[in-house]
Structures are given as structure tokens and as C-alpha cells.
Amino acid sequence: MRIRTQSWDGGDADRFAVSLRAAAPRPAGIAAAVATTIERVRSGGDAALRELSEEFDGIAAEPFEIAPERVATAPAEIAAGLRNAIEEEAANVRAVAAAQVEAQAEPRPLTLDAGQRIELGEVPVGSAGIYVPGGRAPYPSSLVMGVVPARMAGVERVVVASPPEPGTGEHGGRSSAPTRSTRSAAPRRSRPSPTAPSRSRRST
């Protein structure tokens, strides 16, 4: 194994970042593989997603959308201590997000040297897609940190996507349980919105 050491002297940060990326070149063929996968889903829809789920996870995920009734019963399947911790985490994130929204409530005018007047404001995006990793362990923090700020920002449509449970193909309490604390829409296994859960800038 070859070890390469690099140090930054505080100079050009962009150039140093480029050198770091060059030290770990992109694996050959990865761009083509990703493009092929995207095209399979674009042209094949849900059928392609099922095939990919079997290829990558060994599970034929079905159905894709989790029923609201299933989400409602999921919290009872996790320990009370963990459930309370998730609720406390969501409350903390919600408080910080609320403070951010309040701090950015008013548009900020800016006059350029040539006389143009620009007004910057924060507006919520229309939709947000949140991916919650799965596999060997659940990641409820990903759900909380993604959904709560989006909701507090005023995003109307929040879609959660998460892989099926290992070995079963089901989507149970591990990822669904925290949704009540985050006030999210029903989580989905596929087709998350490509829009990030952030607030966008606008200029006039």
C-alpha cells in the first residue's frame, strides 16, 4: 500500500482541494454505470426499480409506498427510550430551524455600484426528497435532520425514501417510526424528489 502525505499551508484553498481530489481518482467506468442505472429507471419505472433492488440488495421491494396506517403504528415497535430520544432530537432541530427562519424572515436589499438594486430573500422550495440510509443499521437522525428543517422552512411536499429491511423486503418501524416526530409525509422506497430540503434564494 502506498501512502501519500499532503499538507496545506493556508494558501489557495481551491487548488489544494483539486490536488486532494486528484489523489483519489474516480474509478474507471463509474460515470457510465451511473448513467446506465438512471436510464433504466427513467425508461423502466417501477419495474426497473424492482430489478435493481434484487440486483443490489437481493430483495424484491414491494410495495413502494408505505401506507399511513403502517407509519402510525411503527413508533410502538421501538423502545420507549429510543422513541423519546428521537422526539427530543426532533424538538431541538425544530427549535434551531425556527430560529433560522425568523432570522431570515425579511428580504435583504443590496445596491450594486452601477446602481442596480437587488433584493435577496429566502423562500421554500416546492418539494424535498429525503433519503434515509438503511442496511445494517437504521439512521433516524438522517430523517430528523432532513425533514424537520424542510418542514420548518415551509416546504409543502416532503418525500422520504429508504431501502427495504435486510432479509425481509419489508419497510418497517426502523425508518417509519420517527416520521410522526418529524411531521413528514409517508416514507417511500423509491422516486424521491430530486429537490434538496433547503430554502432557495431569489433576486428581483
89-128 residue pLDDT tens: 999 999 998 888 887 777 888 888 888 898 888 788 899 9
pLDDT digits (tens, 9 = 90+) for 47-90: 998 898 888 878 777 777 888 888 888 888 888 898 899 889 99
**The pLDDT of residue 106:** 79
**Residue tagged 435577496 (cell numbers):** 120
Label residue 90 exposed, middle or buried (CB < 10 Å: 0-12, 13-18, 19+).
buried
The bridge status of strand 127-131 relative to strand 157-161 is: parallel
Q: 17 in helix, strand or coil? A: helix
Domains of the chain: 13-58 (no CATH), 60-202 (3.40.50.1980)
Q: What is the pTM of this model?
A: 0.62
Is it the case that residue 6 has pLDDT exceeding 80?
Answer: no
Residues comprising the chain, all counted: 204
List of residues 6+ apart from 65 with CB closer than 8 A:
186, 188, 189
How many whole angstroms separate alpha carbon 83 and alpha carbon 78?
6
Q: What pLDDT is attached to residue 188?
A: 40
Q: Among 86-100, 113-127, 160-174, 178-192, where is mean pLDDT lowest?
A: 178-192
